[in-house]
Structure 1
């Protein structure tokens, strides 16, 4: 039964719009394939049918392909969506050397290289889409204060590179809020005093509303000393503790609805779903199983969105519209 007084929430979908390749192999350095962008018109039509306004985080390989640009310009025409920036070091000029795992993360590059690549990406997006993107996301997640300062220099006022409850050998997003916040340049997972750039993380959480405690337990059972007991798997299958992602590549509709329930209990106001455009192409990435593609994505999104509509007063926004709303609320 739907609640009598529905909470007001914002819903946004961000799409990392990029080349496709075998994620288990080396990073592509040339001859980038962007066939997946052919799936964008159908995906956009699906979103429009639900009233959703996708935010397409476009990387250089896609922006450099005229046919892809035409498709995306049509998709976002008339305010139906938004173009944002996505930086993949391996396909974004200028090129410096073969990209390894280390160099694939923007935060590991010398800041001078990041600036040069960001300039070329921003200039390309401004030229082909006739708009200055406001929002940015690094490839492979992770952000630093120095990169945030560069974004401000180049006219961006939104970043979405924080992946809550995630840690990597090169960076951590542990401790970051799951809602929009102004990051501290000295420690980007903390709220700071600056107001030049807003962080809008994607939605990640647990099957219990106390995310902080759930994350503490999840981190503990992930420790190497306990792995012989397979505690994460036991916790998942017993439903004692599950980490969920508002991502139709990683999660079933049922699991995403579980996350939505937890977020509603927490009175969260921003529900930020995310995916890669390459997953719209059948069997093209490491996230989707063989035979899965655009049909799987939309079949998972629809029931989640409908559940949210049944239990909340939902306003669909682009990522810039979310930022503008949040700033007005903070004023």
Structure 2
């Protein structure tokens, strides 16, 4: 039985209105207690957590309390990584007509001029190093927004791992990156190891599911003709992300089964830190949704760790 690694990556960031634009002043972090409690539940199961932290989180009082608690109590099970949200991360471009707001295009770090992208990531890297005593070597671009200069910059700053790729996703309608040609297979770019966030397709037929997840071209072929679209509907094809945000443990388990059958050896389970607190993100707009997210999260992790059909080992990146 092949061993598969399971890593948890938390997009550790501020709370803000996801539909309200990108403003420098939207930097509130009030979910430190709730995030800590949710993470302790996972850590006590034996899981490992990578906190991909942005500037607003690491410079907040509650964010720093989370960092201290994790270092004091779970140092061997946690990793502190970087997560670049350009709109809250200095240095800022004071030549903009509106210095507090940025266009959606520039919310993707990879769309910034190379010198600006590097300056922002450098400041974040140094701040995390200062707070944790350890220089981060794992990167998650805000909004998965890697660009043509990103991997060169990561290499120059000493990064070893990137987890910014979202398989089968296309963000070009928002001026973001196009990952529609990527599967869950690992790859290397400019000396940086790239581990995609686990996502893909499920359906009523496991062999068909595996066929879709093996090659990104397969779904495109079906979507380009009427007969193919009928097949997709009849077989109940759904796109699923390995995340409790919007997906059930049952859906995710089906995805995991397919990814493992197709040879994926490193799974990434992810969610946003703000989803640990009611109304912190769109996924937890009431107490019922919050409790359900937490329960589904624990149920999935327990099922994966205790699986009798797969050898899944909690691991840092």
Residue in structure 2 matched with residue 316 of structure 1 by the alignment: 314
Q: CA deviation at 1:72?
A: 2.1
Q: Which residues of structure 2 form unaligned runs of 5+?
A: 94-98, 203-208
**SS in structure 1 opposite 2:125?**
helix
Residue in structure 1 matched with residue 206 of structure 2 by the alignment: none
Q: Distance in 2 between matches of 1:84 and 1:213?
A: 29
CA contact (8 A) 1:279 1:293 kept: no
**CA 1:26 to 1:209, structure 2 compared with 1: closer, same or farther past 3 Å?**
same
Q: Which residues of structure 1 form unaligned runs of 5+?
A: 1-5, 184-193, 320-331
> Do residues 179 (structure 1) and 185 (structure 2) align?
yes
Residue in structure 2 matched with residue 326 of structure 1 by the alignment: none
CA contact (8 A) 2:10 2:49 kept: yes
**SS in structure 1 opposite 2:16?**
coil
CA contact (8 A) 1:57 1:136 kept: yes
Q: Distance in 2 between matches of 1:201 and 1:268?
A: 10
Q: Distance in 2 between matches of 1:221 and 1:252?
A: 26
Moved over 6 A (4+): none
Residue in structure 1 matched with residue 119 of structure 2 by the alignment: 116
**CA 1:122 to 1:267, structure 2 compared with 1: closer, same or farther past 3 Å?**
same
Q: CA deviation at 1:289?
A: 4.7
Q: CA deviation at 1:168?
A: 1.3
Q: CA deviation at 1:153?
A: 1.0
CA contact (8 A) 1:10 1:316 kept: yes
Q: Distance in 1 between matches of 2:235 and 2:183?
A: 24
Q: Distance in 2 between matches of 1:209 and 1:168?
A: 24
Q: Distance in 1 between matches of 2:123 and 2:186?
A: 28
**CA 1:118 to 1:9, structure 2 compared with 1: closer, same or farther past 3 Å?**
same
Q: Which moved more, 1:156-165 or 1:137-146?
A: 137-146
Q: Which moved more, 1:32-41 or 1:86-95?
A: 32-41
Q: Distance in 2 between matches of 1:235 and 1:292?
A: 32
Residue in structure 1 matched with residue 77 of structure 2 by the alignment: 80
CA deviations over 1:225-270 (Å, ceiling 9, x no partner): 97xx9x59x946x543222111110311111011011122223211
Q: From 87, 99, 103, give the equivalent of 1:100.
A: 103
**CA 1:61 to 1:273, structure 2 compared with 1: closer, same or farther past 3 Å?**
same
**SS in structure 2 opposite 1:91?**
coil
Q: Distance in 2 between matches of 1:167 and 1:130?
A: 37
Q: Which moved more, 1:262-271 or 1:98-107?
A: 262-271
How many residues align? The count is 297
**SS in structure 1 opposite 2:187?**
coil
Q: Distance in 1 between matches of 2:160 and 2:290?
A: 31
> Do residues 129 (structure 1) and 132 (structure 2) align?
yes
Q: CA deviation at 1:317?
A: 0.8
Residue in structure 2 matched with residue 62 of structure 1 by the alignment: 57
Q: Distance in 2 between matches of 1:215 and 1:175?
A: 5
CA contact (8 A) 1:142 1:163 kept: no
Question: TM-score when scaled to structure 1?
Answer: 0.82
**SS in structure 1 opposite 2:271?**
strand
**SS in structure 2 opposite 1:125?**
helix
Q: Distance in 1 between matches of 2:16 and 2:145?
A: 21
Q: From 153, 156, 159, give the equivalent of 1:156.
A: 159
Residue in structure 2 matched with residue 191 of structure 1 by the alignment: none
Q: CA deviation at 1:82?
A: 0.9
Q: Which moved more, 1:82-91 or 1:6-15?
A: 6-15
**SS in structure 2 opposite 1:24?**
coil
Residue in structure 2 matched with residue 285 of structure 1 by the alignment: 281
CA contact (8 A) 1:156 1:197 kept: yes
**SS in structure 1 opposite 2:107?**
coil
Q: CA deviation at 1:293?
A: 5.5
Residue in structure 2 matched with residue 71 of structure 1 by the alignment: 66
CA contact (8 A) 1:162 1:201 kept: yes
CA deviations over 1:189-214 (Å, ceiling 9, x no partner): xxxxx5x2110111011121113577
